[in-house]
Amino acid sequence: MPKKIKNCFYRNLTFKKLLAAHNRAKRHKTYKNEVIKFELNLENNIINITTISLNIIHLG
């Protein structure tokens, strides 16, 4: 029987990885309004995403 791994995704959820994911996602979309608005407050937005994701683990 395979070993069960819990919360593996959230353990590796870091600011650096989310920033890299954002940079990959914005490729060819740099001038769209949604991307520009998100990048105006980029650091806080990524921190909020991390916090919300980690809070889901503790609540669920």
How does pLDDT run across 33-45, given as a tens digit for each residue?
999 999 999 999 9
- Supply the pLDDT for residue 47: 92
Q: In this structure, is residue 30 part of a structural domain?
A: yes
Q: In this structure, is residue 53 part of a structural domain?
A: yes
User: Among 1, 37, 40, 45, which Cα is nearest to 19's?
Assistant: 45
* Three-class secondary structure of residue 50 per DSSP: helix
Q: In this structure, is residue 52 part of a structural domain?
A: yes
- Supply the pLDDT for residue 54: 77
Whether the pTM exceeds 0.85: the reply is no
Query: What pLDDT digit, counting tens, does each position of 2-60 carry?
Result: 777 666 776 778 889 999 999 999 999 999 999 999 999 999 999 999 888 877 766 65
Q: In this structure, is residue 1 part of a structural domain?
A: no
Q: In this structure, is residue 3 part of a structural domain?
A: no
- Supply the pLDDT for residue 6: 67
Which structural domain range is residue 54 located in? 8-59
Q: In this structure, is residue 2 part of a structural domain?
A: no
Q: In this structure, is residue 15 part of a structural domain?
A: yes
Name the domain count of the chain.
1
Q: In this structure, is residue 50 part of a structural domain?
A: yes
